Structure 1
């Protein structure tokens, strides 16, 4: 073996050893991986912040129903010499004004804005649930990829050992004249190929470990193996029915339709009159002080067609969101069908590879025995052994594909969540921040309560 090949093998083997790492003292399950993926996901943190921003939209809409209190301080100075050199002196004035304005009636626009903001919050919550599904499905894929890669490394190592023994036996038979130099060369060639396959398997394991770190937030330790199957519906139709009723993407699209319908009502309300009240008090520097109150009625008569354009735009937006909802339902229905089909294929492949392994095992043992009796060549033995290795490798992949397909079915139904899987960990509560800000609290009045909520979110 060349020094370069030894170096490459050593590096790849080191990657395989690191797969256990320090964490090898405690084997981790798929549940552990899912929990860590949920806790360590920056994507979830990003979308939780998006949801909190949507919560603030409700606070802003609520604030529009409350009075606006403002103050102003005015001062002026006038130099009389600017007008005429013979007229000297100057004048200065100063005043302070405090005013309050409140919209009494606006055609329901502000109330509709609150409803639309709340629907946007519900839609964003559904989108966050969809992100949670993606994070957990990526964790399942990463876990099964590492598990399959470890199994493939083990198979490749066993294959190297077996072919090494086969090469020694062939060399012994060559010494006594039972086989030719060609048989020895074939065994040497196959051993070199098996070592190359081992390095490739170890490299695939190193790649899988990096993908695991991205999905889970850390490198994998020793894996406990294949977990139990989660429960699934009995048929595709049952899975489709569950998906249509509660998939996060469909729920989000439904709320988007409602938002556009409310925005149409707001566009119509913008054409109605509005009534506002105003009260103020002014104090001047000469000691004068006076107050004022008033009502105003305003209505836009003409705005260049902008109001009607806004109404037409709102109607078009409803058409768009309704079509998007129907398309989302169709896509989810297709996703359920594809996931169910992938699961059926994976199960069939797993069953087929089990039969293939049994047949390949018998063929290998029989070929090896026949070769000892001189009825088979070394090449026949090596080919039979390769077929057995291929069958075992195919089974490892089929087993991993089966588990990923099962969780993909759950994801297509909208059920791949921490709550549904029963992972037993505290989850992010989207209502905590909403309840703290939805009534538009003033910082000076409810700042401590809001600060505690934000601190809790930061710890999560």
Structure 2
């Protein structure tokens, strides 16, 4: 409930009509992710195991009819019919089957419970994947903006270095260093754009729509105080462990079903038969003609006591016991995995929080260092390479801060999933009524209609084949191809003033990260690196 309140608050706080919130992305995934819709269909198929098991304990009724034409008759039988039409009705009612039906129904119910837990696990896993895809786009957009700002600053540095080279204040080595750093920054920008494209495509794959402007995610709720507390919550609520336990109970009941093969079967039967000879019986004269039809009815109770079945019951029992042993071991394996995931995700989340703190300190320190290096360069105690290195260090620390905020949020949501608290009912999604697997179960559990059928299946999830995806790398390459070339390699060309870079998206609501890229100097203003050395 706490998570639902936080997500609802974040949605209400969004003022931009075009920004997509994490809550809205999760609603789209819940309604149309193919992994989730396929898991729901699988659960509906699992529900049918209960009426299938119940059918073995219900009466069975059948009707048969036939027509016979006697082509050759005995010569000494003058009353033999030449043709006959018959119809019969038979009903069999199982009275005792050694517990096979009862335990079969209980096993089917246990598998339904396991299927519901699997549906919960699939739901949580898809939500974790959605949060990861959402945060990856935000992170990569921020990194692209940081790299674009770095390229603009280095372009200004190269311009200034060329100006000073032409007047003799700098050497070709200084210009080459600036050009090399600019080329590296441009290649880093291309790599960042390619990674952003990959993240956008992954978002399209998971959510089903191309990412527009993504709003900052809401804060996560409070977590358990210690890893051991997290393990206690996970063992109680994790759906994967609930599924393993239910599957183990179903396997134990399958052993009882196999043991019933050794026990007797008692069945009550009722049958009726009607035969009409269609006025084809001979006779007449001294011999009285028999009736033209016959009717009969039979009631019986049958007992089948197995004495020898070639070892089949024993093999079935041993097989079921081996499967039960497998499920017990699988339960232990899943339990270990749940414990490890809870502790690992807790550790990752805690470490990411520490990385955020360290990265914020690094950004502040590198901003101060860059300011000092530029000041020292203006008086000649620092060279161009020192300034370039300081700018690169600041860029690296800002990128690390953006990545750390993404890692912290994803690790925190993954921890929620391992605790069993990252499902639709916990997030309070308001895109319509939540899917209730018990509705279909109640619909089909007591169904005895042999002609029942659901509508023809149609795909629920929409295809993304026709959804266009922006290709940032191609756009940037076209820009680079039309950009003015270096003045050392071509005649002089003027460059337009660079626009101030955009601020990197904030990954934590309410906190403005100190990750604003350096702003290029406007025309007519001399930067620190253009001041002649004494």
Q: Is the pair's TM-score, using the shorter chain for normalization, greater than 0.5?
A: yes
Distance in 2 separating the partners of 1:150 and 1:404: 17
The structure with the larger Rg is 2
Three-state SS of the structure 1 residue aligned to 2:82 is strand
Distance in 2 separating the partners of 1:62 and 1:305: 27
| CA deviation profile, 1:284-335 (whole Å, cap 9, x unmatched) | 1232222111110002110111111212222222222112111211111011
Unaligned segments of structure 1, at least 5 residues: 1-23
Q: 1:219 aligns with which of 205, 210, 222?
A: 210
Distance in 1 separating the partners of 2:442 and 2:219: 39
Distance in 2 separating the partners of 1:208 and 1:230: 26
Three-state SS of the structure 1 residue aligned to 2:98 is coil
Is 1:322 matched up with 2:314? Answer: no
Distance in 2 separating the partners of 1:43 and 1:92: 62
Q: 1:68 aligns with which of 60, 70, 74?
A: 60
Contact 2:34 2:461 in 1 (8 A): no
| CA deviation profile, 1:428-457 (whole Å, cap 9, x unmatched) | 11011100000124166xx6xx869x9999
Moved more, 72-81 or 341-350: 72-81
Distance in 1 separating the partners of 2:66 and 2:454: 37
The residue aligned with 2:395 is 389
Distance in 1 separating the partners of 2:82 and 2:208: 71
Q: 1:346 aligns with which of 341, 352, 357?
A: 352
Counterparts in 2 of 1:97 and 1:458: CA distance versus 1, 3 Å: farther
Counterparts in 2 of 1:456 and 1:245: CA distance versus 1, 3 Å: farther
| CA deviation profile, 1:55-85 (whole Å, cap 9, x unmatched) | 111011122221111011123333228x99x
Three-state SS of the structure 2 residue aligned to 1:270 is helix
Moved more, 271-280 or 193-202: 193-202
Distance in 1 separating the partners of 2:374 and 2:226: 46
Three-state SS of the structure 1 residue aligned to 2:214 is coil
The residue aligned with 1:30 is 22
TM-score (norm 1): 0.88
Three-state SS of the structure 2 residue aligned to 1:310 is helix
Is 1:332 matched up with 2:338? Answer: yes
Is 1:429 matched up with 2:436? Answer: yes
Three-state SS of the structure 2 residue aligned to 1:288 is strand
Contact 1:79 1:90 in 2 (8 A): no
The residue aligned with 2:37 is 45
Q: 1:79 aligns with which of 54, 71, 80?
A: 71
| CA deviation profile, 1:180-227 (whole Å, cap 9, x unmatched) | 121112112222222222222112111110000111111111011242
Contact 1:361 1:388 in 2 (8 A): yes
Specify which structure has the higher proportion of helix: 1
| CA deviation profile, 1:359-395 (whole Å, cap 9, x unmatched) | 1111111111211211111111111101111111111
Distance in 2 separating the partners of 1:229 and 1:148: 18
The residue aligned with 1:172 is 163
Counterparts in 2 of 1:428 and 1:399: CA distance versus 1, 3 Å: same
Map residues 56-455 of structure 1 onto 2, 5 A cutoff.
Answer: 56-80=48-72, 91-286=82-277, 287-425=293-431, 426-442=433-449
Three-state SS of the structure 2 residue aligned to 1:296 is strand
Unaligned segments of structure 2, at least 5 residues: 1-15, 278-292, 463-534
| CA deviation profile, 1:1-41 (whole Å, cap 9, x unmatched) | xxxxxxxxxxxxxxxxxxxxxxx951011111111111111
| CA deviation profile, 1:65-113 (whole Å, cap 9, x unmatched) | 21111011123333228x99xx9x9833221111111101112211111
Contact 2:32 2:460 in 1 (8 A): no
The residue aligned with 1:17 is none
Three-state SS of the structure 1 residue aligned to 2:58 is coil
Contact 1:267 1:314 in 2 (8 A): yes
TM-score (norm 2): 0.76
**Offset of residue 140 of structure 1:** 0.6
Distance in 1 separating the partners of 2:107 and 2:32: 32
**Offset of residue 244 of structure 1:** 0.7
How many correspondences in the alignment?
Answer: 428
